[in-house]
Amino acid sequence: MKEQINIGLCGLGTVGTGVIKILENNKEEIKHKLGCELAVKRVLVHNIDKPREIHFDRRLLTSYPEDLYADEDIDIIIEVMGGIEDTYLLLEKALEHGKHIITANKDLMAVHGQKLLQLAQANQCDIFYEASVAGGIPIIRSLTDGLASDRIQKMMGIVNGTTNYILTKMTDEHSDFQAVLQEAQELGYAEADPTSDIEGLDAARKMALLANLAFQMNINLSDVDVKGITAVSQEDITFAGRLGYTVKLIGIAAISEGKVEVSVEPTLLPQDHPLALVKNEYNAVYVYGEAVGETMFYGPGAGSMPTATAVVSDLMEAARNIRLGISGSSYVSPQYETRLKADDEKYTRYYVRLEADDQAGTFQSLTNIFTSENVSFAKILQLPASKEGSAEIVMVTHKISKQQLLNSLKKLDDLEVVQKLISYYRVDGEE
């Protein structure tokens, strides 16, 4: 068995620095658990001369990718530098040279994950990506190992810390969306360009990865229905609270009768639901298994040390496989053909908010529209609007199909007494 396993590290930013710190600070514990040493041999960076916050041998730095993937002494490459196309080419070369891969790159795995996994299998290499979904939460390993014998029926998750931080502040402190977004950027929770987070794309990539694993189907980003939080207003959050709900950006992946739906959208959850209690930058994933029932995984979804912890845990798994001679055996190709639900097969409850004429007959007109689509209501609120002669009406439906909702909204748009449809959101977690 190998007494030392050598590592090539791609990227020395927030996460890469955390990886170096954990490997150095926990060196003896890791060696005891593995029976061998883990040593960083080369570090790929864009700028060799850039000042670094950690002290280590700067002779390890290089700006040439081939110094890592072509080095016969390097066993495992850790990729924490981000990017998609150039990074894919680098990892493709690494796998062709027989290197095992650890990555925290959700964008890369969402776009090229299946190709990389198949290439890894062809070259008898491992590729692990725990840190790409929920930072320090071991959700991927839980699905592939701990819950491997079960049939996963549904997953609901808060998998983006930026949006959860924003919605928490809007709920608890009644803050304005733009003000909280700016605060999140100043604290480092949000990027200078926050589009991927606030429009739901980051969470959608993660849910596609989780759905792939849970349902053994090839789910692409284009298969995910995505709706961000930019349109969520303080009024919506207030109304939701009056009705007993909390608004969260929720990723949902569910399967029934062999068909899958995957979505990311603002969702109203009962205020006592476990996910409704997850605040600030924390993440959580709620898993419904046929045998195990309900389980929840909770923890920090981002940050240097939580993400680095997941990376090093994957690193140790890859090192263990090398020593046991079982590398390249973890990948399982999708078992089922991808079958997605149509809108008339997706059932949930909905929150609908609109502004209508405050006059006799308005409610009857609204009722006629919804009745024509077999839509009934569990809760209704009516309040005077800021404009004279208008009223705001908030409704929560019973469980209906998405198609029923869309048909109803289209008819409402043509109704004279309806001045405007303000918002509509999913309601979940009441099973």
Residue owning tokens 């979904």: 133
386 contacts: CB under 8 Å, gap ≥ 6: none
Question: Is 206 tagged catalytic?
Answer: yes
List all residues 6 or more positions away from 388 whose beta carbon is below 8 Å from its beta carbon: none
Coarse DSSP helix, strand, coil percentages of the chain, rounded to the nearest 5 percent: 40, 25, 35
What is the DSSP track for 7-26? EEEE--SHHHHHHHHHHHHT
Residue 220 contacts residue 209 (beta carbons within 8 Å): no
Q: Which residue has the tokens 């916050």?
A: 53
> Long-range CB contacts (< 8 A, 24+ apart) of 120-125?
120/95, 120/328, 120/331, 121/328, 121/331, 123/95, 123/96, 123/98, 123/328, 124/98, 124/327, 124/328, 125/95, 125/98, 125/99, 125/100, 125/101, 125/327, 125/328
Q: Quick one: how far is CA 304 from the chain centroid?
A: 17
Q: Which of 99, 154, 206, 248 is catalytic?
A: 206
Is residue 123 within 8 A of residue 223, CB to CB? The reply is no
**Strands 245-256 and 347-357, bridge-based pairing:** unpaired
Cβ(355)–Cβ(392) under 8 Å?
Answer: yes
Which DSSP state fits 144? Answer: I
Structural tokens at position 195? 């589009």
Residues designated as active site: 206
